[in-house]
Each structure stands twice: as C-alpha cells, then as structure tokens.
Structure 1
C-alpha cells in the first residue's frame, strides 16, 4: 500500500513536472516571438536626383556633409550600449537609376534590422512581397521588399 502510494505520488510529480516544463517552453517561445525586434533604426536614405555630384557638393557646402561619390555616412552610438557604433547612410542616386525598381518612386529607405533570415521568413508568412534573395557583404546582409503602395524598402542586418 505504501509502495503504491509512493508510485502514485511519483507519477503525479512527473505529470506535474512535464506540464510545467511544457508551459515554460511554450512561454519562452511565445515571448521570443513577441519580443523579436524587427526594425531597429534607419540605415539609410536614398533618393534620385538630376545631378548627384552637384547635390553632394551643395550638401557639403551648405550643410557641412562630408560627402563622397556614395553620399555620406552619419555615425552614431547605440542608446542601449554606447560602446557600439552604427551608421546611417545618405546617398543621392542618378535620376535614371534602376536600383529602386520595381518601385516607381524617387526614394528608398534602408531600415536596420536584427536577424534578417528570421524576419524574411516571418514576412513571407505575412504575404509581404520579397523582391530578391538575401545577399551578404563585408558590411552586412541585405534584402528588398515592397510595401502595399509599391515602395521598395531595403532591409539591412549590419555588421557594426
């Protein structure tokens, strides 16, 4: 009788432990989904213009931009960890560039993101138009998407 009671107690304890383990794992997974950062900031602003060299020169002269043929990079520090640096790129493109296609707009915004692969998988499930495949470079990973109005958006997971 005592052995049977111990077995029932042990079995009850195992069932309870199993339930609590499952609940804990489910809570962790749910919290990770809810807390997944998508966009963490603006990585760049790109726009079409008639004469990128003249625009670069104007911004350098009148607003103090340190321009190159690729625009300029604004360096900043992460608010949560001031030892981490980041950049936001500003870049004028020629009026006839095809880089913004399939969008017909004269601008494109680059958003900084964390975990680009996971974000793209999530966006696919949400039926967001993914324009191309993720590409990797020394300075990070990129992919392009379209918003509902056809604006091309560049997503960038930087290697700061």
Structure 2
C-alpha cells in the first residue's frame, strides 16, 4: 500500500527574531562558521560529509530547565564535524562553553549561547 501524501518530510528552516539580525548573522558566520549568504541566511546541506541522516524534533515540558540559562522557548542543535576544532574556534572567539559531554551514547555535545541568548547545542554524532 502506498503511503498517503500530506506529511512532513523534514526541517525546512529555522527562523528567529533578533533586535539586530545583521549582527546576529555576522556572529553565526564568524563564530560558528555558517556560510551566511547575501540574503542574510545560510543553507545547510543534508549531504555534507559526516552529517547525520536525520533531524530530531522533540517537545519538552514548559517547566524544563534543559534550555537554561536561555529564556527563549527553543534551542537550536547544530551537528558539527569536529568537536575539538569547534571548541578551539569558540574559545578563540571568546565564547563561553556552558557545558560539555563527551561521554553521551549519541556522541559528543557542547552548549553555548548566541548574542541574543538562544542556547545552542553542538553535536558531533558517534
């Protein structure tokens, strides 16, 4: 039996509000290395070497502290190719590492915040 149409096939984008979108885009380009284009955003290919084959979506209770110290209602998870190199890049840019976990069964994790206070989870898959 063929699967019926009318379902979600994946994440098409992440859109955030900012008091200074140009400065925030510059931070993501300079600090995290996103290839921010002239239109102000970055297209992240799913077929990049080492990129995980799936994107996760999960809802947390509104009382969770998982996204602290951010007060935003969401957190962004970016897959990275080399956690050690990313941590070195962040340290060189003066970005504080909120926490690291190199022993998780799903891979290596680190958490930071962007200039608008959004918590970012960096993940190097196993």
Above 0.5 in TM-score? yes
Give the conservation status (yes or no) of the 8 Å contact 1:140–1:156: yes
Aligned: 1:102 with 2:84: no
* TM-score, normalised by the number of residues in structure 1: 0.47
Query: 1:39, 1:96 → 2: CA distance?
Result: 31
Q: Which residue of 2 aligns with 1:88?
A: 55
Following superposition, which runs of at least 4 residues in structure 1 exceed 4 angstroms of deviation?
37-40
**Deviation for aligned residue 1:39:** 6.0
Return closer, same or farther for 1:85/1:126 CA change in 2, 3 Å cut-off.
Answer: closer
Q: Which runs of 5+ in 1 are unaligned?
A: 1-36, 41-77
Q: Which runs of 5+ in 2 are unaligned?
A: 1-31, 36-45
**Higher normalized strand content (fraction of residues):** 1
Q: Which residue of 2 aligns with 1:79?
A: 47
Give the conservation status (yes or no) of the 8 Å contact 1:113–1:156: yes
**Higher normalized helix content (fraction of residues):** 1
Query: 1:132, 1:85 → 2: CA distance?
Result: 22
Q: Which residue of 1 aligns with 2:5?
A: none
Q: Which residue of 1 aligns with 2:38?
A: none
CA RMSD of aligned residues (A): 2.6
Query: 1:80, 1:105 → 2: CA distance?
Result: 29
Query: 2:71, 2:123 → 1: CA distance?
Result: 21
Query: 2:65, 2:78 → 1: CA distance?
Result: 20
Computing the radius of gyration from Cα coordinates, the structure with the larger value is: 1
